[in-house]
Structures are given as C-alpha cells and as structure tokens.
Structure 1
C-alpha cells in the first residue's frame, strides 16, 4: 500500500509539473514563441492545426504561427522579439498554465501589434479575473506596443489566457502577440524614517520590461484592470500611461519612471492618509524621457484644494526639474494626482508627454503662514 501510494503521489506530482509551469520573473516558458510547431502541424505554412502544437502553449480557434518578414498582401509583418510570433484570428486564444503563490500579486507583460483590423482589442484573464485592452491607439513607432496587466492569484495553479474577441470579415485579420512575461509584485510599504507618505513614489516597483523592447510598457487605466501593475498607484480615466526604464530612456532618479502620454485623458493617482488641518508638501520631478518628445510641456499636480502647473521646455534629449506643491489637508484621505495639461506627439506620430518621477509627500504639521483653507498655491523650482 505504501509503495502504491508513493507511486500515485509521484504520478500526481509529474502531472502537476507538466500542467503548470513554475513562474519566475521574466519570459514565460516559450514566451517569445521561438519554439515552434513542426511544419507538419502548420496548414498553408502558418495556421496551427492542433491545440498543443506550440510548445508550452494551448491554442484554440484560428491561430497562426508567424515568422518575421511574413507578407500579407502589401503588409510586411515585423516581429520585435526574436523571429516568431502568433496571430489570433476571430475568437482565437492562447493559454498557459502557471504555478503561482495564492494571495500574491503579479503583472503580465506582453507585446501586441495590430495587423489589418482597425478596431482590435484583447481579453486578458487569469481566472476568475479578466480585463479588456483596446488597441485602437498606437503608441509605438514600429506598430508594436507592450502592455501590462495585473492580477491577484486566487489558487496555486492558474491559467493565463489572451483572447481575441474580434468579428472581422477576414477571420485571420487579428493582432500579433509576442514576448509574454510575468513579474511578481511586492506591495510597497512606507519607508520608515523617510517621512514620505507616498508608496512607490519612485515607481521602482512595477511590471517586467521585455528584453530589447525600447518602447516602454503601457499601464492601462484601472477600469480595464482591477489591480494596478504599478503598486499603490491608480491610472484614472480612459488612456494609459507609459512605464519607462533607465536602460532605454532618461529617468530623473532610480531605474524607472512614468511618462504621461494620454494628455488630460489619463491621470496618475494615489490616495494617502492625512490629518485635516495639517499642512503637507508634495515634491516631485518633471522632465522628458529623451525619446524625441520635444516642445512646451506642462505637468499638473493636485492635492486637496491645491493645484500647480509645472512648465517644462523639452528638447527631447532628457533632463528634468523639481517642483513643490504645499497644501492643507481637508479630509482623512487625500488624493495626489499627476496629469499632463496637453497632448504631445513625436515626429513619427506617436504619443508622448512629460515624465513624472521621485514623488514624495511629507507632513509639515502646521498650516502655511499665508492663505486659508489650503487654497494657497506655491510652486518652487529647486
């Protein structure tokens, strides 16, 4: 009996290992699709004929295995990571089983590109959570964008699914998917002794950056993602913000920052505990990401009844300046908001905007000497 029970446990362990890949920060197993199906499993050279033909992935519906440089009519399909990607036709999906820690938070990063459809979107889910990522707005100059989507693990084994709900006349006219990665998120705590009431004020905690992806990662608004890929921060309104890294962009402090690419249609928000009647000081850096986004920028910050507009003349080659907003709290919780006043566009037609980094909020414990009710506006450049 003991030998039989041991054998049964071993069989179950092997089955679970095959069913769910143990995730570590980085690309998922075959996350860049460089391991392809046998040519015998491809119909007409691209269409995957079996649901388990692509190693580590399960597919359903019309899924194509695309090689970089593949031609579709007058369109040349380019793959950003390696030489291969998949294309999801109408109602097609890819899925992978993952082994995770229940209760932990994770961010999925993947790259996607429109092909011939004009109003594409993707459903991303880790059961029982799901989100919808619209792809009408193209932020990357080469047609590809990287997206982040976060979830809280409810079970030790979950299934990541990326699904195209499209209803195009051409059933193969769907988005390309490449470079699927994951990163465990660690909810940031207040740094003791710093006095900073903002969590993750330097934006160092966030989603994974794909190797050689020089266009950053789009973080969608929270209406499309129940859990923010930027811990402690919410993206409010209808457009995404761009998460950038020091390896490919100019970052004022540390290794990561946020570029406000949605104008007034997106806002970066964090809610902080405050004491009504106390004075507080919000300090932050405003700059440009050295991504060719040039022109007269204005970043806005709001807290309680106070607001400040920070002008920044960008040459598109990097640089920043610091700003301070003093305010008096009027409630037990105060929303700190960052927003771009204007829309900006690079010469290649892609959206861009001012950079926000190194944000801190400290209590002064007494009301400002001038003004009343927190209405005084103060801007200092340090």
Structure 2
C-alpha cells in the first residue's frame, strides 16, 4: 500500500478515536447535568419522604400504645358463665377448710368485701347442711358483704344476669344485684334490684334467677350484696353459677302485635339445670330479662326450656306460678275501637303438676279464664279471646287461677304453661288460626242454629 494511503488511514483512525472520546465525555457531562437537575427537582420530595417516614414512625408508636392499653382492658364479655362464675377455680392457697376468705382477692377473678365464705358441698353449720346449687363450691355472703367482678360490655345493650341462690339462716333473706361504674363510690350504682329469696319454689332449696340491666357504660362492675343484718354475721344467702347474656328484642311480626310472643328470647339457661329460671318482679319492659314482657306481681314466673319441660312450640315458654301473685303482661299496639283477637297455647309443663290447671286472661277490658283440658296426643291446646281496643295501646296479661304444686313432693310450685301469644286485627284472614277445637265447635253450632 502506498505510504500516502497508509498515513491517510492512520489519520482517519486517530481522528475517529479522538471523536469517540469526545462524544463519550460529552455524554458523561450531559448525564451529570441531568442527574444534578433531577437531584434539584427531587430534593423537596426527599424532604417530604423524610417527614412521611417520621410521621409513620410516630403513628406506629401510637398504635402500639393503643394496643397495649386495649390488651390491658378486659375482653368483651361473652354469653355464658362469667369468669369463675361457678367458684370452682381454686384460690392460690387452695380452698379453705373453714370456708372463710382472708382477703379481697382470695376468690379468683372476684373482689370481696365483708364476711365472704367459699363453702364446700356438704359443709355443715350447726345442724344445718349448707346448700351448694351446682358443683362442689359456692359463695355465702354475710352481713352487708359483697363480691364483685369487672365486665366489659357494649354500651346501650340490655344484658341479663342469671345466678343460682339459696337462703340459709334467715326467713326474710334477699340479695341485691347491681351494676356500677368501675371507679364509682360505694353505693353509687347504675342499676340495682333486690331479689327476694323468702319463697322456696322447689324442695331442692335453691333456684336460678334472672335480672336485667341496660349498659350505660362500656366497663362496669357486677355486684352481689347481702343487704341484711342478722344476729349471726355469717348468716346470709348462697350464690353460685353466675352467667350473663346479651339480649336482643325480636322484631314485631307483621301479623302479630305481641313482641317475643313465642318467648324464644330470654335469659341464659344452663343445660344441666332442670329448674328453669325464675323471673322476679320487674315493671320495666325496656330492661326485662324476657324482652317485651313485665312481671307485675310479688312472686316470680318461671322461664322453661324444652330440654326439661313440655313446651308447646319452639324451645322456650313461661310457666305461671303462685296464682294471682305471678302475673306476666305486655302493652301491645292497637287502634282504638277496632276488633282484635288474642290467641295463645295453653298446656302442661310435664313436671308432674297437680291439676286442675287454669289461667285468667286479660285483653283490654275483657277477662276470661281458660281451663286446660288434657288431651291424649298433646300436652297443650290453642285458645283465644276476642276484644275491642279502647286505645292505641292495650294491656294483655296472664296469671294462674290456682296455687299448684307437684304431685311427687307436694311442695314445689308449678302451674300452667303459656306460649305462642298473638294479637291481631280480627278482620285478618288468619283469625281461625288462633282458636282451638272447642271454639271451632262453638262457631259451627252457631252457624247450625242460624
């Protein structure tokens, strides 16, 4: 190759290398400029990210503190036995031989004040054997003594407390059940009721009772207190099996003015207890253990279940006790001067109750008694009462005509069972559904005479 061409190619190669180096340098400088520009643009965003990180850290710390506080608070109470509600959890030092409780925290999950005893099944006091309703242990409250437990509930809801109770020395013993604010002073309560233990409803010497309250706060203290003052400071009621249930008022059916007429909504019932639950006097239908209903009289009525009693329909019903002293009632919505029909199921609880069984029924200004007539294939019958409403609200009520007792012990109180209570406008096409066989025969006879 000629020398001139070699020099030319050499020059071109060197020129190419220099040009490439210059282009690379230019691109590098441009890249650095772009990075500086991006950095200048992102600088405020980086600051925002920094503050966002700080904010998220503070929020996490706040949530951690909230969780710690929530964890320290008692969990929301569930339906059923409250914590150590049967008193079968042993104290740290074991169950005392003499029953005496040494300090306010000796009963696990409960606080005590005054003379409080953890009694044992079969324990004697003089010549008397102390009654333990269920299990092996229960609590006896002496003069002005009390036990309490803090519960977390839902504000605005109605709760029913079920507990078993028995009296010991005194004929006129009673027990006060109440709820109070956690930090309330002694005697300051949100709701309270004295439950009379004077009447023995069965020969076993104890009964389950129910009492309801509306939760005005989310955190309350459930208190059981002996309000009595006896000569013997250890005398006092025995309590056991304390449970709670959040109640819901059933919606009123379109074809029935009665709320909870089938009695399916009510207090907590223990499956291993065959005595039902007594509903003592309660005139406030808004805070009733049997939603929609009130117990007007001095004596209780019995809430019964299909596991231990004959129930006309569903799983629950009401047994009327103590004659006129056991009245259950409800104010139902009506229209003045309009005809209505009150119908219900009447029957036998299957608890060996001595006949005759009869109830007095009220609907507005109408009253009529109905006798239960035992039938071969059924333990209940449908009966009804026509009435004309006089106002926008009409009282319907029931009580047992007789004071009935069981045939096997002649002492335990019993009575007729009612269920499926309905009140509807008498112009309804369903009017015939409320009557029993006897009423149907009566209608046929009238038609035949006409």
- Structure-2 change in CA distance of 1:381 and 1:86 (3 Å): farther
Does residue 363 (structure 1) correspond to residue 425 (structure 2)? The answer is yes
The one of 263, 271, 294 equivalent to 1:211 is: 271
Equivalent position to 1:38, from 92, 95, 115: 92
2:256 to 196, 199, 205: 196
CA contact (8 A) 1:132 1:224 kept: no
Q: Which residue of 98, 110, 114 corresponds with 2:167?
A: 114
Distance in 2, matches of 1:144 and 1:56, equals: 24
Q: Spell out, residue by residue over 1:328-363, the C-alpha distance to the aligned partner (whole angstroms, 9 max, x if none).
A: 111111101111112112242121111111111110
Aligned length: 363
* Aligned pairs (5 A) from 1:325-336: 325-336=385-396
Pick closer, same or farther for the CA change 1:200–1:305 going to 2, 3 Å. Answer: same
**Aligned counterpart for 2:81 among listed residues 20, 23, 27:** 27
* Counterpart mapping for 1:275-286 below 5 A: 275-286=335-346
Partner of 1:341: 401
Change (3 A) 1:32 1:211: farther
Q: Structure 1: how far apart are the matches of 2:362 and 2:305?
A: 25
Q: 1:104 aligns with which of 157, 164, 175?
A: 157
Unaligned runs of 5+ in 1: 367-378
Q: Is the 8 A contact 2:133 2:165 kept in 1?
A: no
Over the residues paired in the alignment, what is the CA RMSD in angstroms?
A: 2.2
Q: Which of these two proteins has the greater Rg computed from alpha carbons?
A: 2
TM-score by length of 1: 0.89
2:73 matched to 1:13?
no
Instruction: Map residues 1-382 of structure 1 onto 2, 5 A cutoff.
Output: 2=58, 5=62, 8-17=65-74, 21-39=75-93, 42=96, 45-127=98-180, 128-192=190-254, 195-223=255-283, 227-313=287-373, 319-347=379-407, 348=409, 349-365=411-427, 380=439
| C-alpha distance after superposition, 1:233-291 (max 9, x if no partner) | 11112111110000111101110000111210121111111111211111101111111
- Determine helix, strand or coil for the equivalent of 2:324: helix
Q: Return the alpha-carbon distance in structure 2 between the equivalents of residues 48 and 226 of structure 1.
A: 38
1:142 CA displacement: 0.5
d(CA) in 1 for partners of 2:158, 2:416: 29
Q: CA deviation at 1:6?
A: 5.2
TM-score by length of 2: 0.76
Distance 2:367 2:67 in 1: 62
Is contact 1:343–1:353 with CA below 8 Å preserved after alignment? yes
Which secondary structure state, in structure 2, belongs to the residue aligned with residue 9 of structure 1?
Answer: helix
1:6-38 deviations in Å (ceiling 9; x for gaps) = 564344223323xxx521111011111110213
- Name the structure, 1 or 2, with higher relative contact order (CA <8 Å, separation 6+): 1
Structure 1 pair 208/30, CA: closer, same or farther in 2 (3 Å)?
A: same
Normalized per residue, the structure richer in strand is: 1
Which of the two has greater helix per residue?
2
What SS is found at the alignment partner of 1:29? coil
- Note the C-alpha offset of 1:166: 1.3
Unpaired runs of 5+ residues, structure 2, are 1-56, 181-189, 429-437, 442-450
